[in-house]
Amino acid sequence: MTLRFLILEGNTRDTREAYRQALGATPAESYGRLMASLAGGAQFDILHAADADGALPKGSRFSDYDAAILTGSALHLWQREPEALRQIEAAREIFRTGIPFFGSCWGLQVAAAAAGGDVHRNPRGREFGIARRIMPTTAGAAHPLLEGRGCVFDAPCTHLDEVARLPSDSTLLASNAVSQVQAAEIRYEGGTFWGVQYHPEFSFSTLAYLIERRTANLIEEGFLANEAQATAMAADLRHLDKEPTSRQIAWRHGLERDVTVMTERVTELRNFLDARVKPHAIARAA
């Protein structure tokens, strides 16, 4: 059985092409390749959900897929841009199909808005690089999305916005000091979404690219002292992609196994596959 994923690209054309130039792939392409690898081989299609002309492959429907995944994005829902509103409508359609639905960061925010929740600019400011001390709620500790996570864990992240209010039919699964909604299950019109505010799909090279792209903002907001510090940190992160067991770099940046070891970093994605996608695919094939 070969799984078939739909990856919804959350970024506009300019942003995703900047990713391609820097990293060799758009966020949706990277996400699809990672999910295919975790599944032991899978097919995936990409929907450019921000684009006015974005469309599924000819003859395809949302219900044809074993799962849908919504990537992160540089957009902001509170700006009410057409590129964002299109994604809310796409999310509603996916909810209605009932297929397994997952999202990281922007994906969680879009799903929450689609189901009646609110998203705003985080009054505590940006969370960047590593989301620290994420703690499952009582419900989260027993939820299959967070199976294998400890009582406190860290994860790659970058976000300026957050879910301010979950929809009424939702379960809060994890929080930290920066954002109350770090993980959640959202139920809406027959569908169920699992999502996280952090980015279990990120490589260290992706984080390095984002540091370089946002250096001026990070200096202004006090994350970094100067451009030299940004350059050094980006170099460290790229080195970790090549040598994830580098003890010196991990110690320098306070990184534990839940971040440096890929099999632990992608815990939520593996759990989504095992608990939702594979059972759904088996039931469809029966």
101/261 Cα distance (integer angstroms)? 25
pLDDT at 1: 77
3-201+266-285 is a CATH 3.40.50.880 domain: yes
Stretch(es) of the chain classified as CATH 3.40.50.880: 3-201+266-285
Length of the chain: 286
Cα–Cα distance, 194 to 269 (Å, whole number): 10
Q: What is the pLDDT of residue 285?
A: 84
State the Cα–Cα distance between residues 272 and 191, nearest whole angstrom.
15
Q: Exposure of 86 by Cβ count < 10 A (0-12 exposed, 13-18 middle, 19+ buried)?
A: middle
In this predicted model, what pLDDT tens digit does every residue of 126-167 receive, in sequence order? Answer: 999 999 999 999 999 999 999 999 999 999 999 999 999 999
In our burial notation (b when 16+ CB lie closer than 10 A, e otherwise), range 134-155 reads bbbbeebeebebbeebeeebbb
* Residues of the chain with confidence (pLDDT) below 50: none
Query: By the 8 A CB rule, do 114 and 32 touch?
Result: no
- Count of CB atoms within 10 A of residue 242's CB? 9
Whole-structure pTM value: 0.97
pLDDT value at position 26?
98
pLDDT value at residue 286: 79
